[in-house]
Structure 1
């Protein structure tokens, strides 16, 4: 997966880049008048091509890593919500709970979804500590 970033600053053998996020709306901001602004993320990357502050550079990362992260972030909470809702009927029948089964299903589903957020945070910490998601500078633009 390739992207373009702007070098904000360089220090030693590393550079801080601002990488603009792609907008889902197509970024036709002048005609939209929606009031949103394009945001960027900041990454520290090894400066292998001797880029200077203000340069635009092409960077890349493995698409496989991005797809794994997207799966975890977007589908795990949905899967856990559905799992919680369906497993709540078993719990509801086992313990003879007295209030509404729909409310109980919602609460258990939200609890499972909350657990997925904890799992996502742990996976994020693991990815950061192992340095699994590595960006590489390809060339100056």
Structure 2
């Protein structure tokens, strides 16, 4: 209702499978997020999750749970609290979902001020545009905005 009240241009578009085949139609990109399973309005006989949202083509790719698992991300707009800057790689715990738990990872600085974070085990639905928080023990190292998820 909020988006429609503000007159956002919300257009239906295709749901795609991992091969790129059209398997249905979505109500509009603002109603979905990577990792979402419920509320897709699509009955396929299997559990499907939002794997990718392509705003350029107005398409949403769906796939099995394994397809939403990732191990690395790059992030920008880094805000370090505990340190002045990163001199090199460091072991941290990173949290990518507000209700997720911090997970062991290695963080390294990138040219231009960004960071690359590689988790020691796959994480669910690392989502570009969302926040990532960095911890060292009980201390908050800082946070950033996820740019690319892999």
Q: Higher relative CO (CA 8 A, sep ≥ 6), structure 1 or 2?
A: 1
* Greater Rg over alpha carbons, structure: 1
Note whether the superposition's TM-score is higher than 0.5: no
> TM-score by structure 1 length?
0.24
- The structure that is helix-richer by fraction is 1
Please report the TM-score for the alignment, with normalisation by the length of structure 2. Answer: 0.23
The structure with the greater share of residues assigned to strand is 2
